[in-house]
Structure 1
């Protein structure tokens, strides 16, 4: 209820200030915010189309704050006229930059058959039932020209049972086969230790705002949360690609 009230307030403010010029970020705004956030200043601050309201980023989280730091709003900032989320546009721009830094060689790849039409990064947790369900759709996605690259996201964090299982997968000689054995067959792999990217990928997911699995990320920064069947996913990707080409 509280979140809805905040969102409603944001929409109302946006409607009331349509066409207003963006304000410059007050030089002392970051310092003024520190007492509210344990002494930490936001990673970045920028103006918004709403007069007197500024976007503040803390890691993967985006909030809005007034210039005097008295009022803070949590939720998406909606452009009611264009029916679009300015918050999601900001998140997407950040994700595009981050996607470019991902080392694909550290992912576990299930490559498209024939022509590669799309690439999906999939944050996964081997103990997540919907991740297991999605994995069963991977062969169909591959047939539709979609390459799936797995990134580790043990939801319970570093050191958890899921984390250790995923380390075993990433340390296997044949990582794709190990993923199949765990997700398709429910096999317990032999415990292994090696230099692995599981903790690094978990941290990346947090930076991107992943809060559940599976979480799918396209190369253009679009985040697709949750399980979807292969047909639906492929259509979403095809439609987005066609729209971008117009």
Structure 2
């Protein structure tokens, strides 16, 4: 039943022409909110697609069809242009973040460019791994990497993140962790990782990766270098340089006193 509803909603999205968004009647919005009492719905909007309502939940966007007790969580694409329509709505709804208030001392600094970018990442997140290759293509960017392991999805990510922070060369250790390679580390105060997790929660980040530009604009998810370069106002190279990483075997974290 649920699959059928999802399929129906997507068929509506892909086959119907876009219509101007309008205000949802208060009675309809109230019914939708009542159907999901445990969900904090900040706004109910009529989406571009007839019969499909868009729910704004902070930085998240979901969809629902009136009278059906199912939330459709995911991204809607325009198959004609390849445009991610959901991402655009989510970005507009995302509140600004004060870049100057970020605790940059709790991040791993990479590069020394004029453009500044904060990245919240998890060493075991597949999309974070893909993002690394795209970030390496960017020119003139200083990246502040905040390790934000999501233990519920990646049980070993917290341990890896702490080990990276305690490594002698954090940049190379991060490269190794992302590539599932071993690296030497040592005992140290790694409470910075817990602080980063708390910071991500405070900022309302729901997952990784998440990127914050110097003006405070935040975008979630993996983006290609071309799109990132345009967003940051810089340039990029087509082929990313090969990241250097220490050759340590076996491919596990090896602690040294």
Give the TM bin, normalised by the shorter chain: 0.5 to 0.7
Residue 44 of structure 1 aligns with which residue?
43
List per-residue Cα deviations over 1:138-170 (Å, max 9, x = no partner): 8x668x311111122212159x65435545766
Residue 155 of structure 1 aligns with which residue?
150
Q: Is the 8 A contact 1:125 1:154 kept in 2?
A: yes
Residue 16 of structure 2 aligns with which residue?
16
- What SS does the corresponding residue of 1:64 show, helix, strand or coil? strand
1:203 pairs with one of 201, 204, 208: 201
Within 1, Cα distance between the matches of 2:222 and 2:37? 30
- Whether 1:104 aligns to 2:102 is yes
Q: Which has the higher helix share?
A: 1
Within 1, Cα distance between the matches of 2:128 and 2:79? 35
Higher mean C-alpha deviation, range 182-191 or range 145-154? 182-191
Return closer, same or farther for 1:110/1:50 CA change in 2, 3 Å cut-off: same
- Whether 1:189 aligns to 2:186 is yes
Unpaired segments ≥5 residues, structure 1: 227-231
Within 1, Cα distance between the matches of 2:172 and 2:137? 19
- What SS does the corresponding residue of 2:41 show, helix, strand or coil? coil
Residue 76 of structure 2 aligns with which residue?
77
Return closer, same or farther for 1:87/1:54 CA change in 2, 3 Å cut-off: same
Residue 180 of structure 1 aligns with which residue?
171
List per-residue Cα deviations over 1:215-238 (Å, max 9, x = no partner): 252525444528xxxxx73x5433
List per-residue Cα deviations over 1:102-121 (Å, max 9, x = no partner): 833244142543x51x3332
C-alpha displacement of 1:90: 1.0
Unpaired segments ≥5 residues, structure 2: 177-181, 235-257
TM-score (norm 2): 0.60
- Whether 1:124 aligns to 2:115 is no
Q: Is the 8 A contact 1:11 1:77 kept in 2?
A: no
Q: Is the 8 A contact 1:169 1:179 kept in 2?
A: yes
